[in-house]
Amino acid sequence: MAVDDNTLKAEVRALTDYGVTIISDDDLQEVVDLSKRELLADIGTQEVDLYDDLNAERALFWLSCIFLKVKSGEIYAPSFSISELSVRQSNFTERHGIWMDNFRKHYRAMDGGAPVGHTKSNRPDRAYGFDNSATSNGL
């Protein structure tokens, strides 16, 4: 988990495999700053500490990775926006689609809207029964 911009940038570089010869440090910082602004604008608040909340930090990480791929031209999107990425997701490679799914999972979990991980439904109030006597032919 990243604790500041520097550790986030190191994680983004590790996943994307973009060294400084491909994306400069200044360009990467620009992408991280843009990702922060877009994420905070999309959730409608500036009061979230993106490095203090695991889901916020992971959402920022995945969005930064995706935006870096947009900046490099590996993913086509005419603008750096979450809604634009959602529209274009059907054209993503399988790997980039998984990145977008990971972003969405953590983004939704930021406000408690969706749990991260696997859940199991428990519905003890439901009873299922089958009466096949009307259709049975005595078999």
DSSP class of residue 90 equals: G
pLDDT tens digits, residue range 101-111? Answer: 888 899 999 87
Q: Is residue 133 part of a domain?
A: no
pLDDT value for 12: 96
- Calpha distance 35→62 (Å, rounded): 9
pLDDT score of 135 more than 80: no
Identify the domain containing residue 82 by its residue range: 5-109
- Calpha distance 51→72 (Å, rounded): 25
pLDDT tens digits, residue range 69-87? Answer: 888 888 777 777 776 676 5
Q: Count the domains in the chain.
A: 1
pLDDT score of 118 more than 50: no
The whole-chain average pLDDT of the chain stands at 80
Helices first, then strands: H and E counts in the chain: 5, 0
Q: Is residue 101 part of a domain?
A: yes
- Where residue 117 falls among pLDDT bands split at 50, 70, 90? very low
